[in-house]
């Protein structure tokens, strides 16, 4: 063995930096390729479920739709504050004004309006069409025009079936995320990444829905009062009030952008 | 959104540092292999002993533990979904093996042995799936020719 | 005590054998090494803390095997093999085994003829 050992051959291989045991590839390119493939697969899965649930939800017969709406509204029902008769009359008058101005409003709900106790200024439209305004917000709405803007905005959400859109988004998101849990059960990295991406895309869609509701409210203001200055006023007032109110800013789109959008529509 | 940004930043940093460490390690391995290229390290023993007269022999062994950076394990997890060569880990095992074999050859050369015969290799995984660590043990008999 | 991982001791003759001897240790890392290893998550590269841990375990396992062989009266161990297995995420067992034998120097031919 000492005589026929060829050291030179071994030296040549070391000098040539040959690494047969490691596949030469660029890890960044590989990561990119895998991510693109994953995005395509998960994206198409999401699209299929999205369209299926959309078709089912938006084409429910009216009776089932009302049942679904009442069911979900029961889940998130909250305590309301007793208000004076004068306030009650004011709220109902504003609502009836809007219903008279818009003959095409879907008649599948009572459209009751309630005031709920909360220190944060906010307004919600429940799936069954009932509108809830927080006591903090109601205090700020001094004129009838400002109240009309808020109530018309929420009624716009109901008219555009935004509650159905939200349901479709949550169902699709949950199914896709559960799917990713099964694909990668040991290390939840894939699920976390998909969840972040779904969040980002949902934010964009909710912004579009908010702008449509604002547009509807401006239209109502123009029909009932001739001008929509109240819309800009109430948003500016809320912006000042909500310097520190993070929750309002997180569920509604960027308030400056909204003010600019409303200004563009009004003038 | 913040989660995504933190993830991408971590991965980028780990990739940069990991590649630098790996390149440096390979350079060191190359220089040490060049120093030792004259004394062989073979994996058989019996037929070697038939031809050569040995003065004395002793056991040499060493182990190395190599860890992976975050980028490597992230890439491997994604690769797990589709299957195929997990090339990010291949370099870890390659480095571990070459380092362990180098160490026993250096230990043998310290005591003036001429060759290492009957080389055996052992690989185990020490860390968890979150941060994988590979332990390579190499052992053999160092011999001095008569 | 001579140790080899081939089947004979080169230059000597096996005159008796005592069977399988083995030694093993299970070692776990301690929290300090864990934190240092956590940093290596960013850099990759060799984790010297664990390497020393595995080295010590191997040496201790070999030592235990040698102890056992000595008590049997052997003076060499041939065909030494190591096996490492991870018990949990933080502990590993090193198991060393071999055949304990008694070796004698090969008598030069002249002396054998005289005897």
pLDDT tens readout for residues A164-201: 888 888 889 999 998 888 877 766 778 888 888 888 88
Residue A18 lies in a domain: no
Instruction: Give me the pLDDT at residue A6, please.
Output: 81
Residue from B17, B133, B134, B142 whose CB has the most chain C CBs within 10 Å, to mutate: B133
The residue among A37, A18, A40, A19 whose CA lies nearest residue A29 is: A37
Q: Which fold would CATH assign to domain B2-145?
A: Translation Initiation Factor IF3 (3.30.110)
Residue A157 lies in a domain: yes
Q: Check if C8 contacts B (Cβ < 8 Å).
A: yes
Q: Check if B91 contacts A (Cβ < 8 Å).
A: yes
Residue A12 lies in a domain: no
pLDDT classification of B88: cutoffs 50, 70, 90: confident
Query: Contact at 8 Å (CB) between C4 and C97?
Result: no
Number of Cα atoms under 13 Å in the Cβ half of residue A104: 5
pLDDT classification of B103: cutoffs 50, 70, 90: very high
Residue A213 lies in a domain: yes
Which contiguous run of DSSP H or E holds residue B115? strand B115-125
Q: State how far the Cα of B105 lies from the Cα of B60, in Å rounded to an integer.
A: 8
Q: Is the dihedral of CA C4, C10, C12, C13 positive or negative?
A: positive
Average of per-residue pLDDT values in chain C: 83
Interface chains of chain C (3 or more CB pairs under 8 Å): B
Domain ranges of chain C: 2-114
Residue A261 lies in a domain: yes
Instruction: Give me the pLDDT at residue A122, please.
Output: 83
Instruction: Give me the pLDDT at residue A249, please.
Output: 47
C111 pLDDT higher than 60: no
* Conformation bin of residue C76: beta by default, left when phi > 0, alpha when psi is -120 to 50: beta
Domain encompassing residue A149 = 25-266
The residue among A139, B26, B78, A216 whose CA lies nearest residue C44 is: B26
Return the number of other C-beta atoms located less than 10 Å from residue A173's C-beta. Answer: 19
State the nearest Cα–Cα gap between C85 and chain B, in angstroms: 6
Sheet holding B54-67, edge to edge: B115-125, B133-145, B54-67, C45-46
Q: Scan residues 58-87 of C and list those with Cβ closer than 8 Å to B.
A: 58, 62, 80-86
pLDDT tens readout for residues A7-36: 888 888 888 887 777 888 888 999 999 989
Which contiguous run of DSSP H or E holds residue C85? strand C76-88
**Among candidates B57, B65, B131 on the partner chain, residue whose Cβ is nearest the Cβ of C54:** B65
Phi, psi values for residue C26, rounded to 5°? -120, 125
Q: Which whole number is the average pLDDT over B128-137?
A: 86
pLDDT tens readout for residues B49-85: 888 888 889 999 999 999 988 898 888 888 888 888 8
Q: Which residues of A28-59 are buried (b: 16+ CB within 10 A; e: fewer)?
A: eebbeebeeebeeebeeebeebbeebbeebee
B28 pLDDT higher than 90: yes
Instruction: Give me the pLDDT at residue C115, please.
Output: 42
Residue A1 lies in a domain: no
The residue among A157, A164, A169 whose CA lies nearest residue A215 is: A157
Could you give the number of structural domains in chain A? 1
**What are residue A229's DSSP bridge partners?**
none
State the nearest Cα–Cα gap between B12 and chain A, in angstroms: 10
Q: State how far the Cα of C50 lies from the Cα of A132, in Å rounded to an integer.
A: 61
- Assign B31 to helix, strand or coil: helix
Residue A93 lies in a domain: yes
Q: Check if B50 contacts C (Cβ < 8 Å).
A: no
Note the CATH number of domain C2-114: 3.30.110.70
Q: Which residues of B45-56 are buried (b: 16+ CB within 10 A; e: fewer)?
A: beebbeebebee
Q: State how far the Cα of A141 lies from the Cα of C4, in Å rounded to an integer.
A: 92
The residue that leads in pLDDT, B108 or A63, is B108
Residue A31 lies in a domain: yes
pLDDT tens readout for residues C33-54: 667 777 777 778 888 888 888 8
């Amino acid at each position: 063995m000492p005589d026929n050992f060829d050291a030179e051959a071994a030296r040549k291989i070391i000098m040539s930096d040959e690494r047969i045991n490691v596949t030469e590839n660029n890890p960044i390119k590989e990561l990119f390729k895998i991510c693109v493939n994953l995005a395509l697969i998960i994206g198409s899965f999401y699209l299929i479920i999205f369209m299926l649930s959309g078709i089912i939800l938006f084409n429910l017969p009216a009776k089932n739709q009302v049942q679904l709406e009442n069911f979900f509204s029961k889940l998130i029902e909250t305590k309301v504050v007793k208000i004076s008769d004068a306030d009650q009359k004011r709220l109902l008058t504003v609502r009836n004004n809007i219903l008279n101005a818009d003959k095409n409003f879907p008649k599948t709900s009572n459209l009751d309006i309630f005031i709920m106790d909360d220190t944060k200024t906010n307004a919600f439209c429940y799936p069954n069409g009932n509108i809830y305004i927080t006591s903090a917000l109601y205090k700020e709405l001094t004129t009838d025009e400002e109240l009309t803007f808020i109530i018309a905005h929420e009624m716009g959400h109901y008219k555009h079936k935004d509650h159905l859109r939200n349901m479709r988004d949550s169902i699709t998101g949950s199914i896709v995320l559960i799917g990713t849990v099964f694909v990668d059960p040991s290390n939840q990295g894939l699920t976390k990444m998909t969840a972040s991406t779904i969040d980002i895309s949902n934010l964009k869609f909710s912004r579009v829905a908010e702008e449509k509701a604002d547009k509807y409210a401006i239209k109502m203001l123009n029909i009932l009062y001739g001008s929509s200055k109240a819309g800009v006023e109430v948003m500016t007032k809320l912006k000042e009030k909500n310097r520190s109110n993070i929750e309002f800013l997180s569920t509604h789109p960027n308030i400056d952008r909204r003010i600019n959008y409303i200004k563009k529509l009004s003038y | 959104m913040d989660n995504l940004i933190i993830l991408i930043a971590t991965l980028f940093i780990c990739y940069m540092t990991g590649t630098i460490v790996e390149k440096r390690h390979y350079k060191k391995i190359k220089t040490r292999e060049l120093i030792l290229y004259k004394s062989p390290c073979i994996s058989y023993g019996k037929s070697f002993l038939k031809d050569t007269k040995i003065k004395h022999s002793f056991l040499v062994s060493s182990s190395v533990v190599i860890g992976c950076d975050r980028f490597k394990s992230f890439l491997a997890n994604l690769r797990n979904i589709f299957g195929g060569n997990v090339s990010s880990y291949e370099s870890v095992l390659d480095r571990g093996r070459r380092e362990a074999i180098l160490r026993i050859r250096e230990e043998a050369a310290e005591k003036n042995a001429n060759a290492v015969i009957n080389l055996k290799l052992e690989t185990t995984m020490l860390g968890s799936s979150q941060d994988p660590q590979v332990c390579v043990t190499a052992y053999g008999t160092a011999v001095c020719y008569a | 005590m001579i140790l080899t991982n081939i089947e004979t001791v080169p230059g000597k003759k096996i005159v008796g054998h005592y069977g399988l001897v083995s030694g093993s240790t299970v070692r776990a890392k301690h929290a300090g090494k864990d934190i240092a290893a956590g940093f290596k998550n960013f850099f990759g590269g060799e984790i010297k803390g664990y390497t020393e841990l595995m080295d010590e375990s191997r040496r201790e396992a070999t030592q235990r095997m040698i102890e056992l062989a000595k008590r049997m009266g052997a003076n060499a161990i041939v065909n030494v093999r190591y096996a490492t297995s991870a018990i949990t995420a933080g502990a590993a067992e090193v198991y060393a085994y071999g055949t304990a034998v008694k070796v004698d120097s090969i008598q030069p031919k002249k002396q054998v003829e005289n005897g």
